[in-house]
Structure 1
């Protein structure tokens, strides 16, 4: 059972007092963790932005522009508060190809058009459809881009310049290896060694040093060595911002430019949305569950990325996308709002304006080595294992190969085609086997039953002996009309020849054969449906002497209900009940509630066998210790607390309780029937309700509907007080190993209310708060 105690923070409206000064406008505040996280992300983004700009062949300032715009614009208007956007390695190949074909100014214009396309897609609210793309295709695309990046940057690492395609870069490696530039190779090797070893520094000192990003340390170390040693290597050369190239009108074939816009839109959108989903998972994995941080609004995130690309292209920057590496660093650093992302963009702006002399000292081989390592890491071993486990490695390999050999759009198209072929193959693949067991013919059907499998299904069915007992086990999630007709026609014929047919699911559960006459009846057959509405294909008994036959009919209903349990439910719970029979019961809750037939404890608590140790009586009463009465409640409390060691006790009352109504209507001259004698244990609740020493028990947000509801609520609070009088309960409460809860269930609303303050030692708030529906993760946390 799950009880989610609501936070006791009343939401009072802010009221302006008549003579108080006017409230000041709220200032923009930045949390300390956001400030520190922004600095950590900035230290990672600065060298990566320069390296990506170098890899594309664009002006180096364009990387800084894209990083600043990604932080400020996408950070402000995007739908993922903690995602960090900027120039992404996944766009390197696309951008480099566009620059070679159309030049830098036209590439900037294509970036603006791609941003406008993203804004249009966000208006159409199609962002979530991007998640329908197979992860094998996405990872294959990123892996292919990573291979292309690594091959291109390897030439710069060796002291040369890359070629225009991955194939040319691969074929040119033997000649390049024969003419290595030692200084460039040495700086690059130093950068790679620091990148790989820095995150693995041991000890307490290593833990402190690892707080500085490895990319910053690697580039800074390579710069210091190259400067102090006086090595002759090409370095960063940031021209004056006054000569920074801005976009021009697109020049080139319309189809080519349209393909470029489509490619930029596709890659930036899919990468950003998938990265945003990954950020949500990282935030949810925090110890606090990401409390206070909203989940990503995907359409807003797409709009934010579109706005950032429009601004970045207009200012002469690279295309912008959500970047996983920087986003992970932001979440890991403890960021709690979009202020960290925006501040990182501000630091980029300040560095681009004030640190140009320092940036000009950075060796280009160091940046190339940094981007090469990033490219290699894009071919993730974890992703390969995942797609292999899900039997999609062919899709991954085809997409990766297509991106490397042909291009991104072509590679993705090949991957989609192969993914469709694999899906069709799985849909058409059906395994049909036959065996004989205990004189019965067992026909196992594994996979989906479509028209493609009908010939084999028909052949297997007609090979079964006539008049035999047959069990058809269907282990699949889909059967089309052709397969259904084949199976139904054969079943009718087999039954006509004296045989029997039983159709089961993969667990052996019998699948009932539905007919038009009982579809409506089966539609109402639910575990909570009362017997008088629970015919399940059986016609209700209608006889003239119905009153005479009522006891017999009720008995038949009970027997019929038990029979339905044996048929439908017992096969599903038999294994769990067998485990409980072997291991014994270990319930975590003692649940004390009323005997009212409308109160179904397992239903309102979503509990199963072994969860609740339940005590039910008229009025959910707990007699005080020592009173002369039936000791069954006291015995149950002692057994639950001392023997079963339950962790909590819950007293659950309900609306319209007949016992409370009887208490209110009781008179001094009423005969002492067993019911009246029992209800005397509820008189303290009645006295509490009329007493002025106690606050009225009530439901948060409204007063009780009438005196009966008032007494029902008060009775829950009073019976909890009675529980505290029991020595085992008092002892466990003092030890802190037991908690008490009060619940009020409104039958007409099907709504539960939880008593606030029941974990306090001696007092309650006497306020019942509505229990809201919980998500699966929240429910698991609360329990």
Structure 2
């Protein structure tokens, strides 16, 4: 009916205006971060912009999470840098392409919710470890120095920053950038229109140019010149196993980061909730396109997503338009980025790394659950000391051991009477409690009848069964009468 047409239009146009406004805010936040992540990943700055464009124009169009924004993420810089250093830039596209196809498979097989089963301690530890590695590398870039190598080499090489060779001018620009980021939100009149990261970079550009500082600046060329679609040699590496480990790690971490970001974004608004499996497919399609272009891997990014929600976005139009604005900027005014000092981008990534480490969150976890905090700290430390993949594996193992220990509450009671001794076991008898079980058995009287009552056990694993069985056999061999009461059968 005509009466319903006008209200529908009245609702549509304000939504479009809000989405356009939000898209401009997200574009301004994404622009310096796309470039900064690319530089930290050891690849040309243009590749970060390509991934940001794909995140908007491709992943942004697909269903999944309506307000979540995708692009190159600081959380994947460590993986990308390691891959490029060991296998070359040409292999990046093949790995990202393979990871994207694997993410699509995850979504089709409906395993999106399974990513929520990962221990929060491991996830937070992974993010904290990545943040620490990012900080260790960007401290050198902030002083116009090349990082010595991996995280451990960077950590042990920190004293060399004080030994000369560092650019005090670059360090001053980095500090200025961090100060602007910290102070800018306190000026609401302008901060609501110009995001802090962009304002900080603009101030750094003006200070560098005005003072004529001799520090390193970005070098940004044509997007077409840096695109490196994977060739036959790189795609063969996916088949013969050379790169398959990297593909798996990229896919798992990118998927986990995107879905955890989705959960966080869902808590920021009251609109439609994320469809996890569809979001995995959307991320997979985006990474497949990025891989085919030889660009950086893509994830959902909480910084841009929160900016999108806070700017009043209502539909996915805002995230699609942000990719369009990135494309227009790169095509229309690419030379502007050549004015940006590398130290300013390093400062942005230092702040991003600090947010990933999140000392306040670590302190909160320590206060609420010491065991989970130990898993978090162990995972982060292992990532710094070894590699991201090995560190996460160590964290998962630690989480499994912690869970098994917490579930393994074995209660032992001994009653001695005129008819002999009764050892009663209740709770959960797992392999972690074998030492305690052995001690309880060895402390029983050496003679007389004994009853081993396992009727109160809710779980009785093979290791504990073998321990009790072997003890009974030894006692019966010397003539003792031992009675075993097995656990009660489980009810269906």
CA distance 1:377–1:445, shift in 2 (3 Å): farther
Over residues 167-213 of structure 1, what are the superposed CA-to-partner deviations in whole Å (9 max), with x where a residue is unaligned? Answer: 111222222222221211111111111112222x2xxxx22233121
* Equivalence map 1:431-450=2 (5 Å): 448=428
What SS class does the counterpart of residue 162 from structure 1 fall into?
coil
Match of 2:474? none
Which structure has the larger Rg?
1
What SS class does the counterpart of residue 378 from structure 1 fall into?
helix
CA distance 1:316–1:158, shift in 2 (3 Å): same
* Equivalence map 1:140-155=2 (5 Å): 140-155=125-140
Q: How many Å apart are 1:386 and its aligned residue?
A: 4.0
* Equivalence map 1:218-233=2 (5 Å): 218-233=200-215
CA distance 1:368–1:394, shift in 2 (3 Å): same
CA distance 1:515–1:410, shift in 2 (3 Å): closer
CA distance 1:78–1:57, shift in 2 (3 Å): farther
What SS class does the counterpart of residue 350 from structure 1 fall into?
helix
Match of 1:110? 95
Over residues 685-714 of structure 1, what are the superposed CA-to-partner deviations in whole Å (9 max), with x where a residue is unaligned? Answer: xxxxxxxxxxxxxxxxxxxxxxxxxxxxxx
The answer for unaligned runs of 5 or more in structure 1 is 1-13, 16-26, 284-289, 435-443, 464-473, 487-513, 524-783
CA distance 1:450–1:414, shift in 2 (3 Å): closer
CA distance in 2, matches of 1:112, 1:343: 24
The TM-score, its normalising length taken from structure 1, stands at 0.51
CA distance 1:446–1:105, shift in 2 (3 Å): same
1:65–1:316 CA contact under 8 A, matched in 2? no
Q: How many Å apart are 1:37 and its aligned residue?
A: 1.3
What SS class does the counterpart of residue 346 from structure 1 fall into?
helix
CA distance in 2, matches of 1:336, 1:457: 64
| Partner residue of 2:61 out of 76, 101, 106 | 76
Match of 1:95? 80
Match of 1:237? 219
What SS class does the counterpart of residue 81 from structure 1 fall into?
coil
| Partner residue of 1:248 out of 223, 230, 235 | 230
Q: How many Å apart are 1:370 and its aligned residue?
A: 0.9
CA distance in 1, matches of 2:125, 2:264: 17
CA distance in 1, matches of 2:204, 2:225: 29
What SS class does the counterpart of residue 480 from structure 1 fall into?
strand
What SS class does the counterpart of residue 282 from structure 1 fall into?
coil
The answer for unaligned runs of 5 or more in structure 2 is 3-11, 415-423, 446-455, 469-487
CA distance in 1, matches of 2:217, 2:386: 32
What SS class does the counterpart of residue 328 from structure 1 fall into?
helix
CA distance 1:423–1:207, shift in 2 (3 Å): same
Give the number of aligned pairs. 431
The TM-score, its normalising length taken from structure 2, stands at 0.80
Q: What is the aligned-residue RMSD (CA, Å)?
A: 3.2
Match of 1:346? 324
| Partner residue of 1:424 out of 390, 396, 404 | 404
2:230–2:294 CA contact under 8 A, matched in 1? no
Match of 1:479? 458
CA distance in 2, matches of 1:386, 1:126: 30
CA distance in 2, matches of 1:67, 1:427: 45
CA distance 1:47–1:445, shift in 2 (3 Å): farther
Q: How many Å apart are 1:115 and its aligned residue?
A: 0.6
CA distance 1:229–1:116, shift in 2 (3 Å): same
Match of 1:440? none
Over residues 353-393 of structure 1, what are the superposed CA-to-partner deviations in whole Å (9 max), with x where a residue is unaligned? Answer: 11212111111110111111211221012431343222212
| Partner residue of 1:46 out of 20, 27, 31 | 31
CA distance in 1, matches of 2:426, 2:180: 53
1:37–1:334 CA contact under 8 A, matched in 2? yes
What SS class does the counterpart of residue 339 from structure 2 fall into?
coil
Q: How many Å apart are 1:234 and its aligned residue?
A: 1.1
